[in-house]
């Protein structure tokens, strides 16, 4: 088989991986006069570990002193309110409550309190009665809690998509369905090869998440490894509301922060995650055993949770490194290669702060940085029909009637919002779901999926049989009627 | 914002909404409005292109669209107003409705009475928590039915169907007729969930195997479903080790139950029965909110549309009378209670002045029994099945002869009857 000719794309900085880290970095670098290209293996950005985690903006008190996790978590937390305002992303600063169930656990909570306050985190210790006054649905047997009012909740895939979109507004480019198959360094340049393209970059940022060690090895850096750790999460119906105000944490165990009860930024209550070391990086299966542990953990904090109100579940895989900490460093072997690896929890919180540190690191590697005068930090606002008043909705429909056609009845998502999501880069049913929430509700797309399939087909001008759930191979409907029957008769 | 005032607003233009609107108009309500979210009236019947509808009502075997058309023609012959492609977003306890469509924008409708007829939705994989990955190719049976019968696409060519509800059985036949292979229908109970006639006509006639006391315990495949693992279950529905069987497929259909869609009802403060998942209603089919009525699958899930039409006619008639202010307060109210082997009874409360038709379901199959209607009537039944709804009528005279204020429905042995 002959080697296929690939067009070479020369760029200054290539970012491999469109997760929360890669998109935060490309957006940060788009402040500068740089030629930027982000390369994502999946059909849309934010689809790896980013889409399948708890969506917590952590308080910055969990992390061991002296770690990179501690270095980037609190500054990241403090960047969130402005970042989400600029990008028009849903962010709920609803606070984090770490609940002690026994007197011994309360001692541990006090340790976290001291650690956090020394670091400058705004924290309060609450007695049992104070906790129950704030969160009346917690188990009355608790001993007390630590409250971090500046913790919050965000929709990570929405944030990643918004970061990418804003970077593009500021001149960056990106490729999707572009898994790096080969990479090497040659005469000061770094090369990345995908199925379709060859990219020649002066600087490469490895933000490849679960596959960061694989990419590093392609460049000859064989000094760290990524160990996948799976987390299962279970989502409740929107009608399960006002159960808890803040995200409820237990006192952490040795390897994870434990099972949480999370009022998500989307409005649904969620519980999870498990934390199981697994062998396969793409093992996204949920399990009965996972459910049992999540439910037992969540119920020990909030006894009234009813599993019959669960509408969906998913599993995500954390990209934990063999160091047990983030890896944020220039390659010791390849000049101009920057590794941002092992960004497990609190990676979502830390990502903006890590990104803010990238110009310094690239500067150390010799990149000249020159700020643009016309950088625009704001994303074009997103219309969310169901958050408008009746009068605003009325005015909107009169201006653009496509907002008067409700496609997703469970979440009240209109045709206008779906078309807008396609225009902003959604290409698949999952992409539409993550961006707009159409299909994320209690019927799980049962009613709206055929309608959304039709809209995607129309907007992208592709046949319905080419519309996918999440990329090639996941086509939603495979045949036209009579097609199978006729092929059978002919055979 | 546009404002409308109507006598009776009917939410949903499926079989329940159509019959209710017609009955409200016949009862004398002048301004009757149907609000329908779809592009046409008829509701889910429009995608049910198989026959078997209307045996009771019209003494004919009609297809779903034909059955719907008979009511649609009647509606067309009246001055009942219809708003299509109109989604109701909110219903309030003082009978205001907020609805939206592309032409009028937001509309505020003040109704003298409201009939809830929104139907139901299918239970999902997520609600069942079937473990495994989440590839494409997993559909609820009704979604697949829409793809095939309305949109003209067949999801895949090798299917497994979990659950033996009627839509699943119908889809087993539909897939087979389209040239797809149905490898298995898998049912957790020891008996089929759908009507016996569907088991015979859709599975047995096409040699499709039905696995009873079995379930899907894992879904395999990354982008697209590639196989499922099924296993036998014990009496508490736990998989039995050693009975696992992997079946290759590119499609999994779920026909595992229907849930009345009462989000709008709850918003208005309508009280919901946790057994039916539908509103609690009295003999007028009125909910706890005065002037708000309910009928059809939003009230409780039916298996025959003929029953839906009858129930909706009651609801529509009383909604019409309520709007006209001619409804009379019941002198005596009787609570209806589900007794031995009865899962639920609708309505939940009756008067002694109006004839009533009860719809009820049993909890488990039994043979050679009798239905004891509060001691007022005893009806012999060769067999009772949870999948086959029972109905029984009482006259005002029979109701007046009841002692006490509770009517207990129960299944008794034929000896007692």
Residues 227-286 of A with CB under 8 A from B: 234-235, 239, 282, 284-286
DSSP sequence for A21-61:
HHHHHHHHHTTBS--EEEE-SSSSTT-STTTSS--EE--S-
Share of chain A above pLDDT 70, in %: 98
Quick: pLDDT tens for A234-263.
999 998 989 999 999 999 977 778 999 999
Dihedral sign for Cα B77, B83, B89, B95, please.
negative
For residue B142, list chain A residues with Cβ-Cβ distance below 8 A: 446
Closest CA to B299 of B83, B15, B62, B57: B15
Cβ neighbourhood burial of B393 (10 Å; 0-12, 13-18, 19+): exposed
- Residue B416 confidence (pLDDT) above 90: no
- For chain B, the maximum distance between any two Cα atoms, rounded to a whole number of angstroms, is 66
Average pLDDT taken over every residue of chain B: 96
Distance CA B317, CA A471 (A): 52
SS3 content of chain B, % helix, strand, coil (to 5): 25, 35, 40
Distance CA A62, CA A257 (A): 8
Both structure tokens of A46: 């934010």
Both structure tokens of B3: 């404002």
- Residue A152 confidence (pLDDT) above 70: yes
Cβ atoms of residues A86 and A24 within 8 Å:
no
Res A202: pLDDT: 98
Distance CA A158, CA A47 (A): 10
What is the dotted CATH code of the domain comprising A7-91+153-225+322-381? 3.50.50.60
3-state secondary structure of B273: coil
Hey, are the CB atoms on B1 and A449 less than 8 Å from each other? no
Q: Which of A173-187, A251-265, B133-147, B362-376 has the lowest mean pLDDT?
A: A251-265
Cβ atoms of residues B105 and A398 within 8 Å:
yes
The CATH 3.50.50.60 portion of chain B extends over 1-122+257-327, 124-256
* Residue B71, min C-alpha distance to chain A (Å): 24
The CATH 1.10.10.1100 portion of chain A extends over 385-466
Instruction: List the single best residue of A241, A406, A433, A454 to mutate versus B (max B Cβ within 10 A).
Output: A406
The CATH 3.30.9.10 portion of chain A extends over 92-152+227-316
Q: Which helix (H) or strand (E) holds B230?
A: strand B227-232
For residue B132, list chain A residues with Cβ-Cβ distance below 8 A: 285-286
DSSP sequence for B323-377:
HHT-PPPPSSEEEEEE-TTEEEEESSEEESSS-EEEEEEESS-EEEEEEEETTTE
- The residue-averaged pLDDT of A210-233 equals 97
Distance CA B64, CA B53 (A): 6
- The residue-averaged pLDDT of A20-48 equals 97
> By CA distance, what is A390's nearest residue in B?
B106
Distance CA B310, CA B304 (A): 10
β-bridge partners, A248: A97, A261
Q: Which fold has domain B124-256?
A: FAD/NAD(P)-binding domain (3.50.50)
Distance CA B65, CA B47 (A): 7
- Residue A491 confidence (pLDDT) above 70: no
Res A2: pLDDT: 43
* DSSP structure class, residue B239: B
Question: Domain B1-122+257-327 is in which class?
Answer: alpha beta
Closest CA to A355 of A48, A30, A93: A30
Closest CA to A382 of A410, A359, A413: A413
3-state secondary structure of B175: helix
Instruction: List the single best residue of B136, B220, B222 to mutate versus A (max A Cβ within 10 A).
Output: B136
Distance CA B7, CA A402 (A): 30
Cβ atoms of residues B253 and B204 within 8 Å:
no
For residue A486, list chain B residues with Cβ-Cβ distance below 8 A: 179
Cβ atoms of residues A330 and A216 within 8 Å:
no
Cβ atoms of residues A53 and A273 within 8 Å:
yes
Q: Each residue of B47-65: b (16+ CB within 10 Å) or e?
A: bbbbebbbeebeeeebbbb
Backbone φ and ψ for A475, nearest 5 degrees, come out as -55, 145
Distance CA B380, CA B371 (A): 6
State whether residue A200 sits within 8 Å of chain B by CB. Answer: no
Instruction: Classify residue A100 as left (phi > 0), alpha (psi -120 to 50) or beta.
Output: beta
3-state secondary structure of A222: coil
Query: In angstroms, what is the C-alpha Rg of chain A?
Result: 23
Quick: pLDDT tens for A344-388.
999 999 999 999 999 999 999 999 999 999 999 999 999 999 999
Distance CA A405, CA A418 (A): 11
- Residue B370 confidence (pLDDT) above 80: yes
Res A1: pLDDT: 39
Distance CA A273, CA B57 (A): 53
Average pLDDT taken over every residue of chain A: 95
Distance CA B208, CA B171 (A): 12
Quick: pLDDT tens for B67-94.
999 999 999 999 999 999 999 999 999 9
Res B195: pLDDT: 87
| A490 — pLDDT class (breaks 50, 70, 90) | low
* Residue A20, min C-alpha distance to chain B (Å): 22
Cβ atoms of residues B382 and B370 within 8 Å:
no
Quick: pLDDT tens for A296-312.
999 999 999 999 999 99
Quick: pLDDT tens for A66-94.
999 999 999 999 999 999 999 999 999 99
DSSP-H helix ranges across A137-177: 156-169
Distance CA A5, CA B270 (A): 66
**What are the residue numbers of the active site of A?**
58
Both structure tokens of A325: 């900490």
Distance CA A355, CA A346 (A): 14
Closest CA to B126 of A179, A398, A235: A235
Both structure tokens of B295: 């009928």
State whether residue A444 sits within 8 Å of chain B by CB. Answer: yes
The CATH 3.50.50.60 portion of chain A extends over 7-91+153-225+322-381
Distance CA B41, CA B69 (A): 9
Hey, are the CB atoms on B143 and A445 less than 8 Å from each other? yes
For residue A446, list chain B residues with Cβ-Cβ distance below 8 A: 121-122, 124, 139-140, 142-143
pTM of the entire structure?
0.94
- The residue-averaged pLDDT of A389-416 equals 97
* Residue B233, min C-alpha distance to chain A (Å): 15
Cβ neighbourhood burial of A371 (10 Å; 0-12, 13-18, 19+): exposed
* Residue B409, min C-alpha distance to chain A (Å): 28
Both structure tokens of A385: 């029909």
For residue B157, list chain A residues with Cβ-Cβ distance below 8 A: 478-479, 484
Distance CA B263, CA B87 (A): 13
The three state secondary structure string of B117-149 is: CCCEEECCHHHHCCCECCCECEEEHHHHHHHHH
Both structure tokens of B368: 């050679």
Residue with tokens 């799980």: A444
The three state secondary structure string of A295-322 is: HHHHHHHCCCCCHHHEEEEEEEEEEEEC
- Residue B384 confidence (pLDDT) above 60: yes
The beta-carbon neighbor of A286 closest among B132, B139, B155 is B132
Residue B336 makes CB contacts below 8 A (sequence gap 6+) with B345, B347, B348, B349, B350, B358, B406, B407, B409
Cβ atoms of residues A60 and A35 within 8 Å:
no
What is the dotted CATH code of the domain comprising A92-152+227-316? 3.30.9.10
3-state secondary structure of A16: strand
What is the dotted CATH code of the domain comprising A385-466? 1.10.10.1100
Q: Which helix (H) or strand (E) holds A144?
A: strand A144-148
Res A193: pLDDT: 97
Share of chain A above pLDDT 90, in %: 94
State whether residue A475 sits within 8 Å of chain B by CB. Answer: yes
Residue with tokens 């007028």: B284
3-state secondary structure of B237: coil
Closest CA to B15 of B33, B41, B39, B37: B41
Distance CA A44, CA B146 (A): 28
Cβ atoms of residues B219 and B245 within 8 Å:
no
- Residue A3 confidence (pLDDT) above 70: no
For residue A307, list chain B residues with Cβ-Cβ distance below 8 A: 129
Cβ atoms of residues A361 and A328 within 8 Å:
yes
* Residue A490, min C-alpha distance to chain B (Å): 12
The beta-carbon neighbor of B102 closest among A235, A288, A404 is A404
Share of chain B above pLDDT 90, in %: 94
């Amino acid at each position: 088989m002959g080697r296929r000719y690939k067009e070479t794309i020369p760029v200054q900085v290539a970012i491999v991986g469109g997760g929360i880290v890669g998109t935060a970095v490309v957006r940060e670098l788009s402040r500068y006069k740089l030629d930027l290209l982000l390369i994502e293996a999946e059909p849309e950005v934010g689809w790896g570990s980013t889409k399948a985690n708890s969506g917590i903006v952590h308080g910055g008190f969990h992390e061991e002193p002296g770690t990179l996790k501690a270095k980037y978590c609190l500054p990241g937390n403090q960047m969130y309110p402005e970042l989400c305002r600029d990008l028009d992303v849903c962010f709920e600063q609803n606070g984090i409550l770490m609940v002690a169930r026994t007197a011994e656990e309360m001692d541990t909570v006090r340790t976290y309190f001291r650690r956090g306050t020394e670091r400058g985190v705004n924290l309060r210790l609450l007695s049992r009665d104070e906790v129950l006054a704030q969160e009346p649905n917690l188990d009355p047997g608790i001993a007390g809690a630590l409250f971090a009012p500046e913790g919050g909740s965000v929709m990570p895939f929405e944030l990643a998509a918004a970061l990418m979109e804003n970077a593009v507004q500021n001149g960056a480019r990106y490729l999707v369905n572009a898994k790096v198959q080969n990479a090497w360094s040659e005469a000061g340049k770094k090369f990345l090869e995908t199925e379709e393209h060859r990219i020649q970059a002066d600087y490469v940022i490895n933000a490849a998440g679960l596959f960061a060690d694989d990419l590093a090895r392609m460049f000859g850096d064989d000094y760290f490894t990524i160990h996948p750790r799976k987390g299962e999460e279970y989502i409740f119906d929107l009608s399960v509301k006002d159960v808890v105000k803040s995200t409820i944490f237990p006192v952490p165990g040795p390897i994870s922060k434990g099972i949480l009860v999370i009022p998500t930024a989307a409005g649904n209550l969620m519980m999870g995650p498990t934390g199981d070391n697994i062998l396969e990086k793409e093992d996204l299966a949920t399990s009965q055993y996972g459910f049992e542990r999540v439910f037992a953990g969540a119920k020990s904090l909030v006894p009234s949770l009813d599993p019959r109100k669960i509408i969906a579940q998913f599993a995500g895989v954390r990209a934990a490194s063999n160091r047990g900490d983030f890896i944020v460093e220039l390659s010791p072997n390849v000049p101009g290669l920057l590794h941002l690896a092992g960004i497990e929890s609190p990676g979502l919180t830390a990502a903006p702060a890590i990104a803010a540190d990238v110009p310094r690191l690239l500067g150390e590697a010799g990149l000249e940085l020159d700020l643009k005068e016309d950088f625009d930090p704001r994303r074009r606002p997103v219309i969310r029909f169901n958050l408008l008043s009746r009068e605003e909705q009325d005015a909107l429909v009169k201006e653009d009637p496509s907002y008067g056609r409700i496609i997703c009845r469970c979440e009240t998502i209109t045709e206008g919002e779906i078309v807008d999501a396609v225009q902003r880069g959604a290409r698949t049913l999952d992409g539409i779901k993550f961006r707009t929430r159409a299909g994320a509700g209690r019927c799980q797309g049962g009613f709206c999926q055929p309608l959304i399939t039709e809209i995607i087909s129309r907007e992208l001008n592709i046949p319905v049989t080419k519309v996918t759930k999440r990329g090639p191979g996941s086509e939603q409907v495979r045949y036209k009627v009579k097609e199978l029957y006729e092929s059978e008769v002919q055979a | 914002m546009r404002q409308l005032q109507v006598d009776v607003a009917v939410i949903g233009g499926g079989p329940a909404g159509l019959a209710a609107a017609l009955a409200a108009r016949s009862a004398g309500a002048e301004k009757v409005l149907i609000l329908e979210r779809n592009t046409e009236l008829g509701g889910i019947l429009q995608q049910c292109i198989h026959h078997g509808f209307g045996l009771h009502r019209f003494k004919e075997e009609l297809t779903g669209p034909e059955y719907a058309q008979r009511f649609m023609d009647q509606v067309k012959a009246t001055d009942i107003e219809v708003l299509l492609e109109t989604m109701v977003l909110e219903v309030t306890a003082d009978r205001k409705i907020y609805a939206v469509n592309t032409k009028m924008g937001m509309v505020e409708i003040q109704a003298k009475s409201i009939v809830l007829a929104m139907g139901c939705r299918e239970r999902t994989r997520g609600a069942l928590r079937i473990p495994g990955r989440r590839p494409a190719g997993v559909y609820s049976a009704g979604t697949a039915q829409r793809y095939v019968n309305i949109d003209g696409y067949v999801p895949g060519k090798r299917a497994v169907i979990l659950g033996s509800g009627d839509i699943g059985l119908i889809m087993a036949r539909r897939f087979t007729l389209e040239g797809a292979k149905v490898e298995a229908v898998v049912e957790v109970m020891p008996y089929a969930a759908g009507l016996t006639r569907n088991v015979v006509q859709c599975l047995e006639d096409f040699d499709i195997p039905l696995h009873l006391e079995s379930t899907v315990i894992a879904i395999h495949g990354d982008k697209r479903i590639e196989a499922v693992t099924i296993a036998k279950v014990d009496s508490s529905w736990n998989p039995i080790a050693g009975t696992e069987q992997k079946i290759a497929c590119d499609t999994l259909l779920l026909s595992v139950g229907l849930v009345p869609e009462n989000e709008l009802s709850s918003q208005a403060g309508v009280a919901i029965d946790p057994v039916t998942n539908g509103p609690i209603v009295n003999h007028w089919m009125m909910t706890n909110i005065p002037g708000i009525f309910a009928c059809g699958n939003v009230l409780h899930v039916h298996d025959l549309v003929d029953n839906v039409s009858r129930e909706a006619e009651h609801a529509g008639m009383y909604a019409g009378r309520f709007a006209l202010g001619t409804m009379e307060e019941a002198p005596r109210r009787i609570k209806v209670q589900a007794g031995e082997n009865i899962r639920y009874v609708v309505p939940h409360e009756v008067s002694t002045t109006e004839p009533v038709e009860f719809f009820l379901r049993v909890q488990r199959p039994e043979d050679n029994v009798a239905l004891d209607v509060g001691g007022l009537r005893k009806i012999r039944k060769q067999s009772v099945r949870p999948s086959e709804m029972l109905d029984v009528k009482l006259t005002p005279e029979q109701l007046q002869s009841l002692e006490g204020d509770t009517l207990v429905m129960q299944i008794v042995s034929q000896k007692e009857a």
